[in-house]
Each structure stands twice: as C-alpha cells, then as structure tokens.
Structure 1
Amino acid sequence: MPKKGNRKRLKFRAGDVCSESVTVADYANADPAVVKSGRVKKAVVNAVEKEVKLLCGLEASQGAVQEVLSSAARIRGDSLESSDDLSQEEDDENEARAACKKKNKRRKESSESSDGGEYPVDIWLVLSSYIRPEDVGRFALICRNAWTVTCTAAFWTRLYRRHYNMDAELPFRLQPDSIGRMRCLRACVIRSLFHLYEPFCLRVSKIPALPESTPTTLLNSKCLLFWIKKVPGTRPEAMWEFNFKFMKQGYTKNGSAKSLCIPRQYEDVHTNSDSDCYLLQVTTLNFIFTPVVMGMTLTLFTINVSTDMRHHRVRLVLQDAPLQRGRKRGDQGGTQVVLDPVHSVKLMDWWHPQYPSSPCT
C-alpha cells in the first residue's frame, strides 16, 4: 500500500471535464485509498451536470444526473463496506496478537515470580516406596531431591525387599544375605528384578537371542575378556562356548557413576564393573583354536551360512586401534577369529539373567 504521505489527490476542473474524459471507470474502479472519503467530489458533480445540461437540456438532465450520482454513490458504498470489512479483519488480527503477547508476558512474569515449593528428602524417600521398578527413571527426573533418593542404599534395599519372593530361584550373589552389603547394591538389585519381577521377566523372554542391530552395536567395542567353556551334552562330542566380553566405545570402568556426579557417600552403591558391557556367546559343535584378542577393538562382525549349509559361520576382525570415521572396514589386517560350524549365537546385556557377572557383583 502507498504511504500516507505519498497519496495522490484527484484534481478536477469544471472546464477540463467533458463527455470523453469522464468514464464509468472513474467511479467503479476508483481507489478508496486515493479518495479517502469515498464520496464524489463536487467539481466532478458540477462538471457532469453541466455537460448533461448542454447535451440533453435542463429537464432531461435532472433524472440523468440523479441516476448517475446515485449509482456512483452505491458503488462507492460497496467499496467502502468491503474496505471496512478488510480493515475490521486486520484490526481483529492485531487485537488477537496483542492479547497473545499480553498473555505470554503474564505467564512469564508469573513463572519468574513463583519458584515453587521445595520438599525435603524424607518426603521423597517415603514416596519412593510406592514407585514401580520401571518408573524409577521417571521418578528421578522430577527434581534433584527425588534423584538423590534414587542414589541411596535405602531406596534400593526397600525395592529389593518389596519384590523378593522366597520361592524364586536366585543365584547366591543375589540372595538377601549378599544384598546387605553396600558395594554394587544397585547392580545386584537390578539383576534380581529380572528374576523376581514378572514384567521384567517377560521383557527378557521377548528379546531375540541375536538382535538385528548386533553388528552395529558391537562395532568399535573393546574386548575386555575372552574365555572358552566346555558344555557337556548328549552327543558323543561336547559343544564349546566362546565368550567375548565387550565394552561400548568411549566408556571406562565405573565411568557411568562419575559422569552422573553421584554423591560421594553413595558411589559404592552405584559401582558396577560390568556397566555398559555386552557378552557375545558363540556355541560351536567342536573345539576351534582361536588367538588371544583381549584388549583389542572389534572392527568387523559377520554371520554367514556354514559350508555344510546347516549351521552358521561367525567371523570377527579385531585390531589394536578403533576404526576411525570415514575409513573403510578393517577387512584386511588385524586378528581374525573364524568359528565354523556354529550352533547358536547370543548377545546379552550386563543385567541379563544368564550374564556371567564378575564375583564382586
């Protein structure tokens, strides 16, 4: 739209107006912004009236002039109504925006003025007695005091006693006598819940033995421990288990507790040497000689069909250094471990009931 100061005014003179210069477009398509009042100027009316009198005579011109003026006024009125509607809509939008800004400003002021109440840790400790195991993470995110409660030994001890069942078959390290110690208390309670708590037991049963994301999950993982175990069976020859304990890339032992800034008095409760670790368990039909790979980084993991077309073939490539971004996989070089034929492959997290945890946990 043209600025207010730059609006042009229509200037008419009675001597300049004739039948050729005055057209219907001067009335129907006139810009309301140019003629703000929306009425026909007096100079135009006089010029048209004079022209009509000269052509048709005084008596005949009265009706014609009134008709022209009435039609022009009607057209101007319609245009003004439409312009008024548009201006009203714009005013409504402006009022809505202003109300929204005021509302947001009031909200901001109220949020800044009211900081809320802070409840003592004892109240959060009482409320934690009614929290389900799957809601511990949500409860810890409420506030800092709620998170502090989840760090205490009392919280994990009560959680264990609430779901303990004498009929459940628990390993010795997860029995009530072993739970009484402070060190690794959190890890032991979490492992025991996968034996005692039914929703967690169902979750374990639904997890596939080897998820589809296993190659990506184990990529650039460091092999902390490797051992071979003989599994007696009904067959004349026994099966063998090859166990590879991997740690996620970028983690160190007890690194999780330090990164979360656990209070110093509760560091023993959160200690877990198996945190962020996986166990890759490969069961073969016979013994296979494998090189020592402890301390090396896994750069390639593949599972193919065995040569007898009845079993699987597992191939691992480990190197001294992790695989850098942008480089190709380390197919060549490094230490290769080929297991063929393979009976089964399992990948277990540290909290899995079949995970062989360390003696301290």
Structure 2
Amino acid sequence: MPRRGNRKRLKFRANDMSSHRVTVADFANSDPAVVKSGRVKKSVANAVQKEVKALCGLAASRVPSEDGSSVLSENGQYGSSDELEDIGNVNGISSRKKKSKKQKESSITDLTGGDYTIDIWLVLASYIRPEDVVTFALICKKAWTVTCTAVFWMRLYKRHYQRSAYLPVRLLPECMYILRSLRACVIRSLFHMYEPFCCRVAKNPSLPESTPNTLLNSKCLLYWCRKVEPGSRPAPLWEFNFKLKKLPPKQKNHCLNGLMPPAEYKEVHFNPDQDCCLLQVTTLNFIFIPVVMGMTLTYLTINVSTDMRHHRVRLVFQDCPVMNGKKPRGEQGVQIVLDPVHSVHLLDWWHPKYPFSAMA
C-alpha cells in the first residue's frame, strides 16, 4: 500500500471551468453548521450555470440566477436582465426588469407635477371656505401668493357679507376698500357674519384653562379701567383691561415659516394687534392699581375669594421676563390683587368684543 505521504491532494487548476469550488455543503441535506443561511450562494449558482453552459450550449445560459437579477450572455459574461427581456418565464421563475437611467429620470419628472399659472389658483381660491385658507396656502408657493393678494380677501368678504349683521364702522363695505390692515379686518368681520366662526366664539369658554401659562412673559402695552352700568345690579361694576402682547408661538415644521408677503401686499397684511389679547377683569369695587404699562406679566393666578362666592386674581409684573420656568420672587416687581372678582375674560385680537382702532 502506498504511504499516506505520497498521496497527492486535489488542487484547483487554472483551466477548470469554474472559479468557484462546488462542494456537497452547498446543497441540500448539508450540515447546517457549514451552511448557515440554508440557501445556495449566488457565486456558487453562477459558477454552476457557467459550467452547464459550457457543457450544454447556449440554451443553458438562458436560465436566470436565483434572485433573477443577473443572467449570462452569449459570450459567457454576466449581463443585466434588460438585455434579455424576451426570455420570459423559465422553469416557473420570472425575471425582474431593472429600470434604466432614462426610465428613472422620466419617473422623477412625472412626480414633479405641472406648473400652473397664478390665475388658475386665483379662480380656485374663490371656492375656498374661510377655515380652509391655511390648507389652501400650504399647497404650493403660488397658492400662498394668492392668499396674500387684496383680491382674495375682498372676494372672501363679499362672499360672506350679510346686511343683517351688526358691524363696526371700519368693517362696513364702504370702508373695506382701504388696503391697510385689509386681511385683519376681513378676519374680524367673519367672526360677526360667518356662522361657524360665530358658533366657535359662543362655545369657547370666557377664560381657557391654559390662560395662566399662555400669558406668561406677555408685555403690557396698555391699561385702562372704566365703570360699568349697574343694569339689574344695585351697585356698579368696575372693569380693568390689560392689553397684552403674547410671545410668538413656536412653529415647528411649518411650511409657511420664513415666508414674507410680497412687498406690494405688506399693507394688506399689516396688523398692529398681531399676537395681542385683552385680559378683562371685572370687580365689584374699585381697586387702585399702579402703573404697569411697559412691564412684563410674569405671574398670574385665579383662585377662590375669601367669601367663597367670587374669584381672586393675582398678577405680578416685572421689568424683564422670567425664563426657564423660574418663579418670580415676591419682593420683586409690582403685585396686583383683585378681590372680589365678578368675571374674567380673555379676548384675542379677532374677537368681536376686542376693542380696536378705526384707523387700524
């Protein structure tokens, strides 16, 4: 018997048909420790196809690979499935087509859509409800530009104008041709005439629960008090009004951020009461209040009065705002205590009872 040392090992030769060694472990009933994925590798399958092509001829080269993404061409090289589109289905395996660069470019151009003139958007804007104006403006930049024009707001006003509705002098039709603050005036008029907006005002509470938080760090622009007629009450009431300018809300991921109205429509969008509100506190008696105009509201609480029948309002004004949720110190700033309080109302700039100048 020949010695084991004289046995020659089977080595790979350069003239073999395949560059990959095909072993039993690459097929079924093999050791799972050897083949972890349980499927034939792509390189093994392509090597087998190359050997079969050389033995059986060109017909064998038409068999697609396992994933159907690459096949063999006539010269024995690998080619894409776009070059063999007429093969069809072989042995129940369908070949998938890859999109060429031209097809991808054409698909991208199809997704961009058409560019319509601003006149078309102006016609479509004539059918937009007042509550859908923001949604319409977010469609594209031309739709947003339409909502900046004076024509858009005048058509919106005329569409919902009612002669029976009571309107302030500035909101009457003969005064609406003034371009200055046209947008703000149309929005105010809609809360007098448009039924969904009127119902919204009637359903909203006079003082929302989030009022103490939303008014923090608001600047007091104006303050006044007036005597209210007694009516059915035996004694008159006193109404204290604080005109506050709230901090602009944080707008995240909003498409209209950074967009300014065109220069020719700045007068239309001018609104001196933007982000302003009126804190209206009605008391049973007159209470002396120091001057707080120009100061910042840093603390506001509404509690039950000592008589358990009314409210008690406490306000603290300081020279500078308090950031990071810190509470102001009691000895700092100006403290105002209103007790007993008959009612508390918070009116936004678009509210029908919000006082605004006729020259706005």
State the TM-score, normalizing by the size of structure 2.
0.71
**Structure 1 residues 101 and 356, CA, compared in 2 at 3 Å: closer, same or farther?**
farther
1:248 aligns with 2:246: yes
> Separation in 1 of the partners of 2:68 and 2:322?
58
Rounded Cα–Cα distance in structure 2 between residues aligned with 1:210 and 1:291: 24
Give 1:220 shift: 0.4
Structure 2 partner of 1:36: 23
Question: Equivalent residue for 1:166?
Answer: 163
Instruction: Give me the whole-angstrom Cα distance separating, in 1, the residues matched to 2:161 and 2:22.
Output: 88
Number of the residue aligned with 2:207: 210
> CA offsets, 1:33-61, max 9 Å, x none?
x993259xxxxxxxxxxxxxxxxxxxxxx
Tell me the equivalent position of 1:333: 332
- Residues 184, 360 of structure 1: 8 Å contact kept: no
2:243/2:277 contact within 8 Å kept: yes
Alignment gaps of 5+ in structure 2 = 5-20, 43-64, 70-94, 250-255
Q: Do residues 87 (structure 1) and 39 (structure 2) align?
A: yes
Q: Which amino acid aligns with 2:289?
A: T
- Residue correspondence of structure 1 range 222-261 to structure 2 within 5 A: 222-233=219-230, 234-249=232-247, 260-261=259-260
- Tell me if the contact between 1:299 and 1:330 (Cα under 8 Å) persists in the aligned partners: no
Determine the structure 2 residue equivalent to 1:144. 141
Name the CA distance, whole Å, in 2 between partners of 1:183 and 1:175: 14
CA shift for structure 1 position 235: 2.1
Q: Structure 1: which amino acid aligns with 2:279?
A: L
Q: Which runs of 5+ in 1 are unaligned?
A: 1-12, 14-33, 40-75, 252-256
Q: Distance in 1 between matches of 2:25 and 2:267?
A: 86
What corresponds to 1:19 in structure 2?
Answer: none
Provide closer, same or farther for how the CA distance between residues 217 and 112 of structure 1 changes in structure 2, counting only shifts above 3 A: same
The amino acid that maps onto 2:212 is: P
Q: How does 1:10-159 map to 2 (within 5 A)?
A: 36-37=23-24, 78-79=29-30, 86-87=38-39, 109-110=105-106, 112-114=108-110, 115-159=112-156
Q: Which residue of 1 aligns with 2:304?
A: 305
Which one is further off, 308-317 or 195-204?
195-204
Question: Is contact 2:248–2:275 with CA below 8 Å preserved after alignment?
Answer: no
SS of the aligned residue for 1:283 comes to: strand
The 1:260/1:331 distance shift into structure 2, 3 A limit, reads farther
**Corresponding residue SS for 1:159:** helix
Distance 1:294 1:101 in 2: 73
Alpha-carbon distance, 1:85 to partner: 8.6
Task: Provide the rounded CA distance (Å) in 1 between the counterparts of 2:213 and 2:96.
Answer: 48
Pair 1:355-2:354 in alignment: yes
1:176-325 equivalent positions in 2, closer than 5 A: 176-233=173-230, 234-249=232-247, 260-325=259-324
Normalized against structure 1, the TM-score is what? Answer: 0.71
Write the letter of the residue equivalent to 1:87: R
Deviation at 1:324, TM superposition (A): 2.7
State the aligned residue count.
Answer: 291
Instruction: Give the 3-state SS of the residue equivalent to 1:323 in structure 2.
Output: coil
Partner Cα separation in structure 2 for residue 92 and residue 339 of structure 1: 82
Over 3 Å counting, the alpha-carbon distance change for 1:172 and 1:77 in structure 2 is closer
Calculate percent identity across the aligned residue pairs. Answer: 60
CA distance in 2, matches of 1:141, 1:336: 44
The structure-2 alpha-carbon separation of the partners of 1:89 and 1:347, relative to structure 1 and needing over 3 Å to count, comes to farther
- Go from structure 1 to structure 2 and tell me whether the alpha carbon gap of 1:207 and 1:274 turns closer, same or farther (over 3 Å shift): same
Considering fraction of residues, name the structure with more helix. Answer: 1
One-letter amino acid matched to 1:268: E
AA at the equivalent of 1:346: H
The amino acid of 1:171's aligned partner reads: P
- CA RMSD, 1 decimal: 3.8
Q: Considering only CA atoms, is the larger Rg found in Structure 1 or Structure 2?
A: 1
Displacement after TM superposition at 1:77 (Å): 5.6
